[in-house]
Amino acid sequence: MNDVTRAPGADIVIVGAAGIAKEIAVLIDDVNAASGVARWNLLGYIDADKRHVGLPHGRHRIVGDDGDLLAWPTPVACVFGIGWPARIAAAADGLAAAGHITYPSLVHPTAVVGPLVALGEGTILCAGTIVTTDVRIGSRTLVNLQTAIGHDARIGDDCVLNVGVRVSGNVRVGARCLVGSGAVVLQGLTIGDDAVVAAGAVVTHDVAAGETVAGVPARPLRTRGGNQ
């Protein structure tokens, strides 16, 4: 484990070192700036590949691998900078027994969060998101830039809602779902666990667990042989 800078505020690391992780680092900076105090001391990134430890990534460095985080000598907060739901779930499972790690929710200061909204541990609301009222979002879910979630929606654990998604009222989204940029899910629909909604799709019917849909209106993708 590399030496890291200590500063006022609770120590936090970002698990993952993809591009989205750099954006989450900016979000943490924005939260600190809006608070007027250093609520979070970002130590850097955790990468699964030990060969990357010490390398720069944006304005911060990769400070350890998964094993380093499991052996971290002091309490540390953790969020996930990973853009694929199954990988978020797998990373979380690998850290589940570590009692020294906590998972704060992070809400960008420009996000609009209405009454009766509940966020699970480690969930992130990025800049410009709108969550209206009586919404439940599970743990470790990433709600990316300019996404809107309507009344009474329920979003599962380890989901990724990419830039500009529109989730209408009374929608149910299962665990580990990926909803691509600009997709629209119409009111009252259900998206099953592990489903994928392609970018720009307009979902007008329920999506089965594990299914991938695309298009306007969204339809299940087929293999080259013609089978679903």
Instruction: Name the 3-class secondary structure at 63.
Output: strand
Q: Which residues are tagged catalytic?
A: 151
Spell out the alpha helix ranges (H) of 71-212.
85-95
d(CA 133, CA 169): 9
* Tokens standing for residue 4: 């890291």
* Tokens standing for residue 109: 């200061």
- Residue type for position 89: A
Q: Are 31 and 40 in contact (CB under 8 A)?
A: yes
Kindly give, in sequence order, each residue whose CB lies less than 8 Å from that of residue 39, ignoring residues fewer than 6 positions away.
Answer: 9, 10, 31, 32
DSSP designation for 50: G
Closest CA to 154 of 119, 106, 180, 200: 119
* Tokens standing for residue 175: 């665990």
